[in-house]
A and B are shown apart, each in its own frame.
Chain A
């Protein structure tokens, strides 16, 4: 029963009516129903709901379907919150164990050891004691894994849309932009461009119609931050877009989501419908006279469409080919109108900055990068999952303290950051505090946040070939340096991995890398050689061993 909110007061009243519910004395059972579905979360949830009904425990237990809770390696994952007691974290939950979870943990407060996270042979039942959790700082992910993403009520109960109301009723557009600028936030989509500056360009651009686009193409292999945000807290993205729209003066937004994310699309679609019903999207929002609405556009399987000008072409219904910039989208974007494009995570940061203030935000992080960054931890690491830490955290903390290190005996070799545009960070740089500049200085990039751990069994030449194959396949073919350069580099790399390399191959690779970097039209070609260069830089011995 969603009732239209006619004013800011209505929104506040709705939140307050939720306060009562939060204080209820129920045991809250949160089950991750997004990524964990890949290992049977749906079945676990259904069994849980069935048992709760059968045992008539509805007054005692509240089962909540949530998004990603972070420690995805332990899927299917659930958290149990008894009133007034610490949260219990369970992983690898199966349908068979559900009756025990109810009779022992929920009804008697007894912990089931075999479901607990373990480190160095010790079981750790409480979330607050698990290093994976207590070393993180969840700012953007504050709701992810906690609220039901299909419930706008729960989002509002946790002060959702409050920042937007502040931006709408207390700030003028210039003030929003100055707040975002002084927060120091930089784009999380890869390039790290200052968000406030970008908004300012679009605000100043001349045009009757302006568009806002959320880039949810998330094409980097190994990245799942944006998927998790959209699935786990879609309203945070909508709220960020509302604030951005008010700042730049836009009434129409698009979210461009890749086709491989059906759950994300579904949650976002629901969230948009709910926001419309509450009058948080549409015309005369909260009685303010401000209009803004959103539409979802589905990608069709082309990595290059993550690049902003290609993405715009794709929304226009064309082949998604990049075009030269300038003109920048801020001046001439979608259908030639001023357009602002931001990444999902960037937009999910916005409500926090407006709510807590730029000063608060800036003190998280470093001089070159304020705020937090979400990393998608994958590969040869124990705790694969979603990690949010302040900028400036070291790779060692992420991979070892939070990630639990490398399983097996092989040991850490490198972390790949930034996907096909990035590079490998070897062991010698593990203590590097991560921000945009520091990562670049060692030959990788912050990128969107994919962080893939490689152990000593991983061949770095193979990884280099792997990425080259990826960019070669995804090159749109519009410009020669990228189309031909990636093909030639790939041929050499294939030869080397087959043991048929010749002496001058590495020199040739470097030379072609230079040309491709400097002469390609878009970021795909310009950054395509990075994985090769970075592996040559740190793992030349592996190339030599194969060439001989």
Chain B
């Protein structure tokens, strides 16, 4: 994916929304950039640094600290399987195995067709329907090894 050169033009638009205080809005700028590109390409980080005058080392420090940020391209859809206590107790491991097998990836990986990235998170506040996951911004509850692959299949189309 990196082969294609990244168009850094949108960065200026994102950055300009935070012109009152670049420094304290760095995380928001990075979040919005990641929304735009799906990940944080190096050229984008450099452009952010150039426009905001926030040193690149500081930007890298923030990007590597927060687990939300990624420096490598991700799939079109983010699957976040909950690994929280309630889901753990309610057998999320089997559900996770089922997805891993179906997509042929391990946690943190992206499918070869860049459709999905599989992540685990510690609780998404839907413990009452454990085991649960999110696909992008949608929650799914009471997952079984079958229902989870059905949901993923629907997103494949």
Contact = CB atoms under 8 A, between A and B. Distances in A.
B130 interface: yes
Contacts of B125: 35, 218, 223-224, 227, 260-261
Given A380-B89, A466-B85, A317 B62 contact: yes
B138 A222 contact: no
Interface in A228-266: 259-262
B121 interface: yes
Contacts of A259: 31, 68
Contact of A378 (B28, B66, B122, B128): B128
Interface in B65-99: 65-69, 80, 83-86, 88-90
Contacts of A463: 85, 89
A303 B68 CA distance: 12
A389 to B, nearest CB: 17
A470 B129 contact: no
Interface stretch (B6-14, B108-116, B139-147): B139-147
Contacts of A261: 125
Interface stretch (A4-12, A293-301, A361-369, A432-440): A293-301
Interface in B16-41: 23-28, 30-31
Given A35-B139, A38-B141, A300-B27, A319 B128 contact: no
Nearest to A467: B85
A222 B127 contact: yes
B126 interface: yes
B15 interface: no
A508 B58 CA distance: 39
B148 interface: no
Contact of A38 (B28, B61, B69, B129): B129
Q: Place the interface of chain B in its size category.
A: 35 or more
Contact of A319 (B28, B61, B85): B61
Contacts of B30: 300
A273 interface: no
Interface in A1-48: 35, 37-39
Contacts of A297: 27-28
A260 B80 contact: yes
B155 to A, nearest CB: 15
Contact of A72 (B23, B25, B122, B128): B128
A24 B129 CA distance: 35
A454 interface: yes
Interface in A441-495: 450, 452, 454, 458, 463, 466-467, 470, 474, 476
A387 to B, nearest CB: 11
Given A35-B126, A300-B69, A302-B65, A221 B27 contact: no
Nearest to A75: B129
B134 A260 contact: yes
A222 B124 contact: no
A217 B9 CA distance: 33
Contact of B129 (A221, A320, A321, A384): A384
B23 to A, nearest CB: 6
A354 interface: no
A419 interface: yes
A179 interface: no
B45 interface: no
B48 interface: no
B84 A221 contact: yes
Contacts of A530: none
Q: Place the interface of chain A in its size category.
A: 35 or more
B103 interface: no
A221 B126 CA distance: 10
Interface in A503-531: none
A223 B124 CA distance: 9
A419 B88 CA distance: 13
A321 B80 CA distance: 25
Interface in A377-392: 377-380, 384-386
A419 B85 contact: yes
A223 B123 contact: yes
A298 B124 contact: no
A491 B86 CA distance: 23
Contacts of B134: 260
A421 interface: no
Contacts of B65: 302, 319-321, 476
Nearest to B141: A38
Contacts of A450: 85, 127
Nearest to A264: B125
A300 B140 CA distance: 21
Nearest to A296: B28
A470 to B, nearest CB: 6
A317 B86 contact: no
A39 B133 CA distance: 12
B23 A317 contact: yes
A376 B27 contact: no
B128 A302 contact: no
B137 interface: yes
Contacts of B86: 221-222, 378-379, 384, 452
B118 interface: no
B126 A224 contact: yes
Contacts of B61: 319
Nearest to A470: B122
A316 interface: yes
A379 B124 contact: no
Nearest to B90: A379
8 contacts: A38-B129, A38-B140, A72-B128, A222-B84, A259-B31, A298-B27, A300-B30, A466-B85
Interface of A: 35, 37-39, 72-73, 75, 218-224, 227, 259-262, 297-303, 314-321, 335, 376-380, 384-386, 416, 419, 450, 452, 454, 458, 463, 466-467, 470, 474, 476
Given A35-B126, A221-B85, 12 more contacts: A35-B139, A38-B126, A38-B132, A39-B141, A72-B129, A221-B127, A301-B68, A317-B27, A376-B128, A377-B128, A419-B85, A452-B89
10 nearest A-B pairs in the assembled complex, by CB-CB distance: A221-B84, A300-B66, A38-B141, A72-B128, A378-B86, A221-B123, A378-B127, A38-B139, A301-B68, A227-B125
